[in-house]
Amino acid sequence: MPAAISDSSTLIHLAALGRLILLREYYTEVLIPPAVWKEVVEEGRGRPGAREVEEAARVGWLKVVAATDEPLVRLLKRELQDGEAEALALAVERQELDRLRQDAGFWITEDLYRQALEAVGEGME
């Protein structure tokens, strides 16, 4: 099973339905960037997802992983919220951006997509 990268919305909504465990059933591990952890766990205390995400990290199937490409993160933060920007940067670093668009139906403007690819030296052909 592959790993997954998640933003806040996915974690919050699945937790609200009592189904966060679905992520563990489909993926070996779930990676989230620090901004997602902050939004869901730290700022979200007492709300759906906070306790569940903290527990998933404690038992080890959810991991907080920071994107290392700071220029890309800054570029994405111009258009997106912090958690979304960091999650996308992490996906780009792990070469998952095209899969997000093609396989998962993730919508991102063509201009922002092009800028992100150029920022990591992937230019469009």
Q: What is the pLDDT along the chain (125 residues), one digit of tens a residue?
A: 578 889 999 899 999 999 999 889 888 889 999 999 999 999 999 998 999 999 999 999 999 999 998 998 998 899 889 999 999 898 888 775 755 556 555 556 667 666 666 665 565 44
pLDDT value for 92: 83
Domains in the chain, CATH or no CATH each = 1-65 (3.40.50.1010), 67-125 (no CATH)
| Residue 19 confidence (pLDDT) | 92
| Residue-level pLDDT at 124 | 47
The structure's pTM equals 0.77
Q: Confirm if 57 and 31 have CB atoms less than 8 A apart.
A: no
